[in-house]
Amino acid sequence: MIELDLDAVAVTYPGVPPVPALRPTSLQIRAGELVGVVGSSGSGKSTLLNVLGLLEHSTAGVYRVRGVDTAVLTERGRTALRGVQFGFVFQAHHLLADRTARENVELPLLYRKVPARLRRRAAVQALRRVGLGHRLDALPGTLSGGERQRANIARALVQQPRVLLCDEPTGALDSASSEDMVGLLQGLNQDGLTVVVVTHEQWIAARLPRRLRMQDGVVVEERPDGVTPGERTDGVTTGGRP
């Protein structure tokens, strides 16, 4: 099944001259894929991720999520679709210092007015899923950097999204914790979750089965051997569409 489908999608910021943050890109991500998006700072990686996660509007092209044309949705509709479709993991964990790991993970469900008993059960399950079942009542200040990021992932998982979008999830971690994080994301993907990982780390991208490389807003498919086949000068990704 095609989970995410971009057809000549672009983002241009107004200015004199206008700034093309994402050049026309055609790309499909299938359900259950694990995709890395690699590139230097300012290459457009975060813009692509924001468009995928409905955090930002495209200025051209068509973006479909499970066949739904997102351009026809109201803002309320986009918010509703984002809530059921996507979980987000950012470099900064943004855990509340005075809430336990379990309470932090419960927060998205609290905002959705899920009953307390069900919130607790879902939060415990999410924390166990990321290997933090033994740290349910720990405050963020007592967690290691890797544990805080795991709690961050659990908070993204608690709403049972179909797609996990990760923006530099290892950016604040040491090498050992980064290795653990990559292994965790691979495990979640093996459980059936679609995962997209934005990173500037080449070694992380090399561990992922599918890689997209970005430079100056251009997205290019990369083969496992690191070669970028069929790169086109108009910035349209090749290889992403059957």
Is 146 domain-assigned?
Answer: no
Token readout for 99 is 């809430």
Is 193 domain-assigned?
Answer: yes
| 233: enclosing H helix or E strand | none
Is 205 domain-assigned?
Answer: yes
Q: What is the pLDDT of residue 151?
A: 96
Number of domains, the chain: 1
Q: What is the pLDDT of residue 242?
A: 35
CA pair distance 27, 25, nearest whole angstrom = 6
CA pair distance 173, 188, nearest whole angstrom = 19
Token readout for 211 is 């890689």
Is 102 domain-assigned?
Answer: no
Q: What is the pLDDT of residues 101-130, one digit of tens each?
A: 999 999 999 989 999 999 999 999 999 999
Range of the domain at 201: 2-94+162-222
Q: 62-65 contacts: CB < 8 A, separation 24 or more?
A: 62/6, 62/7, 62/8, 62/9, 63/4, 63/5, 63/6, 63/7, 63/9, 64/2, 64/4, 64/5, 64/7, 65/3, 65/4, 65/5
CA pair distance 48, 55, nearest whole angstrom = 10
- CATH number (domain holding residue 173): 3.40.50.300
Share of the chain above pLDDT 70, in %: 92
Is 53 domain-assigned?
Answer: yes
Binned at pLDDT 50, 70 and 90, residue 91 comes out as confident
Is 101 domain-assigned?
Answer: no
Is 140 domain-assigned?
Answer: no
Q: What is the pLDDT of residue 225?
A: 55
Residue 230 in this model has a pLDDT that exceeds 80: no
Residue 233 in this model has a pLDDT that exceeds 60: no
Is 156 domain-assigned?
Answer: no
